[in-house]
Amino acid sequence: MKDNLIFDLLKEEKHRQKSGLELIASENFVSKQVLEAMGSVATNKYAEGLPGKRYYGGCEVVDQIEDAARDRLKTLFNAEWCNVQPHSGAQANAAVMLACLNAGDSILGFDLSHGGHLTHGSSVNFSGKLYDPHFYGVEKETGIVDMDKVASKAKEVKPKMIIAGASAYSRDWDFQRFREIADSVGAILLADISHPAGLIAKGLLNDPIQHCHVVTSTTHKTLRGPRGGIIMVGKDFENPFGIKTMKGNLRSFSSLLDSGVFPGTQGGPLEHVIAAKAVAFGEALTDDYLKYTVQVTKNANAMANEFVKRDYHLISGGTSNHCMLIDLRNKNITGKDAENALVKADITVNKNMVPFDTQSPFVTSGIRIGTPAITTRGLKKSDMIKVVDYIDQIVKNPDNESIQQEVKKEINKWMTSYSLYPKVKYPTSELI
């Protein structure tokens, strides 16, 4: 018997995605073949271990799928080693930390309230509970990370690990300088590139692979794959912790990272997700994907410029990647109220703390906006003026239901020209 409750709800979600403007910087729309792989028979297969080294039989086919995913990812980022099994970016970070740190070791990450991520040392997260977290942040005047202050903080706390990366930071990262700082204090340098990974892969932003000991990322967001995580190493090396094999040889750094994933933090990998990752990595190797990432940055810059023209306070004054963090305090509205008002007009953003925020994390003074999803839909640079105008109308009139309904009507009509999944002909088409 068909589960009408769930499938009716999925139809509602399909309608929501098709009808509105998706501006959450973490979200994107995968291709129909990524969806096919996600909904494939690979979901039935248990495969603990690595290809060729499984703890279950019958893995001959999924081994080939996972090898394809690994080969494509290594080509995409010019990495010597990778692991495609982490269930999420958070799981990838947890695996790396387990492999490199002991409980109570100090870590230096980007302050959550300044745009960092929960897994970079937040007190409510495993990273802040298991390890000794310290933080760097942005300058109040510029909204940009001062690398000299990062160096000073590293010298002060002598962390075992430094994390470069963010959840809401609109500028590029100086990975070379981070590596110099890490080397000066004997720290492992982890780059978490979950947000800009797709732009980095196509050479539009600084490359962490050649500078950082280890790199993690999600596979959704700008990479436009299924929700999941990855770990990469540019060039493998002997682990610096003196950990040896049973034969007395120093273990490679990559082998420690592998063990951090399984058996360290996960059981069986999700082979249907890995199949979808392989598909997405293949797509990311194409010229069409390069054109897409270029358009993401063009759209983001155009949108940021339009917000600035309308007297919106963008942290750092603009963007160098796909996203922007907007301080709404000069608009006399909280992030929470802005988010709620915008969603009534079928505009999806997320409330977000801004540096030196005066509101609680549940309310916030800002919103975060990104262009990956609307770029996938087909919107161009010239469309950004229209998008910002809609947002501006709602933010200025958060309690005006008639304006909300009028904007919603216009957006719904506009989005009919940008089909999510044209010409889908496989069995699950009613849901996409």
DSSP string, 334-398: -HHHHHHHHHTTTEE-EEE--TT-SS-TTT-SEEEEE-HHHHHHT--GGGHHHHHHHHHHHHH-T
Is 311 in contact with 335 (CB distance < 8 Å)? Answer: no
pLDDT at 426: 44
Q: For the chain, give every domain's residue range.
A: 33-284, 293-415
Which pair of tokens denotes residue 227?
A: 């929700």
From CA 192, how far away is CA 195, in angstroms rounded?
8
Q: Could you read off the pLDDT of 201-241 as tens digits, one per residue?
A: 999 999 999 999 999 999 999 999 999 999 999 999 999 99
- Determine whether 390 is an active site residue: no
Residue corresponding to tokens 């080509």: 75
Architecture per CATH, domain 293-415, reads as: Alpha-Beta Complex (3.90)
**Catalytic residue chosen out of the listed positions 22, 36, 66, 192:** 192
3-state secondary structure 216-259: EEECCHHHCCCCCEEEEECCCCECCCCCECCCCCECEHHHHHHH
- Determine whether 238 is an active site residue: no
Q: Which residues contact 122 (CB under 8 A, 6 or more apart)?
A: 112, 116, 128, 133
Provide φ and ψ at 417, rounded to 5°.
-85, -5
DSSP string, 27-75: -----HHHHHHHTSGGGG----EETTEESSS--HHHHHHHHHHHHHHHH
pLDDT at 117 exceeding the cut of 60: yes
pLDDT at 420: 87
Adjacent-strand bridge partners of 370: 323
- Determine whether 174 is an active site residue: no
pLDDT at 431 exceeding the cut of 60: no
Q: How many Cβ atoms from other residues are within 10 Å of residue 318's Cβ?
A: 17
Is 388 in contact with 307 (CB distance < 8 Å)? Answer: yes
- Quote the crossing angle between the two packed helices 175-185 and 147-157, to the nearest 10°: 20
**Catalytic residue chosen out of the listed positions 72, 227, 277, 377:** 227
pLDDT at 112 exceeding the cut of 50: yes
- Determine whether 179 is an active site residue: no
pLDDT at 155: 98
Which pair of tokens denotes residue 103?
A: 């409980």
pLDDT at 430: 54
Q: Could you read off the pLDDT of 297-319 as tens digits, one per residue?
A: 999 999 999 999 999 999 999 99
- Determine whether 251 is an active site residue: no
The predicted model gives 399-426 an average pLDDT of: 88
Which pair of tokens denotes residue 379?
A: 């919107």
**Catalytic residue chosen out of the listed positions 46, 55, 418, 421:** 46
From CA 110, how far away is CA 220, in angstroms rounded?
21
Sequence-ordered alpha helix ranges (H) in 186-252: 197-201
pLDDT at 212: 98
pLDDT at 335: 98
Rg of the chain (C-alpha set): 22
Q: What is the mean pLDDT of the chain?
A: 96
**Catalytic residue chosen out of the listed positions 14, 27, 48, 251:** 48
The predicted model gives 266-275 an average pLDDT of: 97
Is 30 in contact with 226 (CB distance < 8 Å)? Answer: yes
Local structure of residue 222 (DSSP, 8 states): G
Is 162 in contact with 108 (CB distance < 8 Å)? Answer: yes
Percent of the chain with pLDDT over 90: 95
pLDDT at 432: 52
Q: Which residue has the higher pLDDT, 199 or 419?
A: 199
The predicted model gives 109-134 an average pLDDT of: 96
Q: Could you read off the pLDDT of 325-349 as tens digits, one per residue?
A: 999 999 999 999 999 999 999 999 9
Q: Which residue has the higher pLDDT, 191 or 428?
A: 191
Q: How many Cβ atoms from other residues are within 10 Å of residue 340's Cβ?
A: 12
From CA 16, how far away is CA 2, in angstroms rounded?
22
DSSP string, 260-306: HHTTTT-SS--HHHHHHHHHHHHHHTSHHHHHHHHHHHHHHHHHHHH
From CA 319, how far away is CA 317, in angstroms rounded?
7
- Determine whether 48 is an active site residue: yes
**Catalytic residue chosen out of the listed positions 119, 216, 218, 293:** 218
pLDDT at 423: 53
Q: Which residues contact 56 (CB under 8 A, 6 or more apart)?
A: 46, 47, 48, 49
**Catalytic residue chosen out of the listed positions 74, 153, 179, 221:** 221
Fold topology of 33-284: Aspartate Aminotransferase; domain 2 (3.40.640)
Q: For the purposes of burial, counting CB atoms within 10 Å of the CB of 418, is it exposed (0-12), middle (13-18) or buried (19 or more)?
A: middle
Local structure of residue 231 (DSSP, 8 states): E
The predicted model gives 47-61 an average pLDDT of: 97
Amino acid, res. 100: C
Confidence class for position 427, pLDDT limits 50, 70, 90? very low
From CA 150, how far away is CA 110, in angstroms rounded?
10
Provide φ and ψ at 256, rounded to 5°.
-65, -40
Q: Could you read off the pLDDT of 80-111 as tens digits, one per residue?
A: 999 999 999 999 999 999 999 999 999 999 99
Return the closest-CA partner of residue 237 out of 214, 261, 260.
Answer: 214
From CA 323, how far away is CA 39, in angstroms rounded?
30
